[in-house]
Structure 1
């Protein structure tokens, strides 16, 4: 089996937001919609204060709550672990937006662009009219992953078939790959480092892991 997951090393992330910008460029998301966000978290008490940066987005859960509540079955989980939305079937009810414990979904009701009502050349190339009045979210750059079968390349290893946010990370804090492959990059990282997942106590089996110390 294959289970694609993302791993983020919180010791490396500097909060530069390059992954957010790369996602915006790759997917032409409208203003106010960020499929890849970076939280700025402060912990401790003065003078012992620590600042951490935590990239978040759709967790591509193994047990996704969004699938359970979708009345039109537009949201599905694939065998490789990716959670998808069929824009032709989605009715934009927003049930999945409410059900997602990670606040990873959005519904927009008009085409909107960064600077005015006219799309830039980059936005025009990537903007998808089907994403209006439907739920949208991070896809792990699914079209790149699907192209791997034809090209013979490996997601998480070859940039052409790896999510844009991972490719863009200037500190190599982000990794992507097959968790079920014991020899994959992500399996190695999880084996060698202490890690956690956000709200995993909810039983969602999130597919985004955070590293924070050596084992």
Structure 2
């Protein structure tokens, strides 16, 4: 039985109430207010829905994550980074990054990053919770990604690339920064071969929830504009 969220409460059902099919569908309804989004990530779920659908909240089991110490940097990517073809910044143009992530892809119809989603995460960025990684070729934005940083956890959301391997350079740079700042886990949500090639792996949802409980409120020395 799917739970429908009420606008007057930020409570989500227990994660073990999520459906097995489709995997991880936990609740529907509610809104995209900053308070609800923060409550969702703290609870272990995230919004994902298509234009015209109700707002849907997911907590898949297993959960795909990347531990920064397990990140696999291929020789070819390491060589590309050393060549300094691209430069990487943080939080310099969040709006441009999320808009680029929302653009249509050749392999998909439409986008789940609706205008409402963009406005919601822009507000989280203004509040210092959502962050962007920009990859530049000269003065042109050619790749990037965005997500949320809470405690010593980073919740990845989406990435884009307008040049071959641009987003990979951005992601590798981010992982290096997060490791330096003492982050212990990057939430990748669901499996893709792309993420698997970096060292991401699936863990039980219960284990993911344990990481949330342990690390969400731990301080981090992250300085995103450094």
Q: Under a length normalisation based on structure 1, what TM-score does the superposition of the two structures give?
A: 0.25
Which structure's residues are more often helix, by fraction? 2
Q: Structure 2 length normalisation: TM-score?
A: 0.24
Per chain length, whose mean CA-contact separation is higher, i.e. which structure has more relative contact order (CA < 8 Å, sep 6+)?
Answer: 1
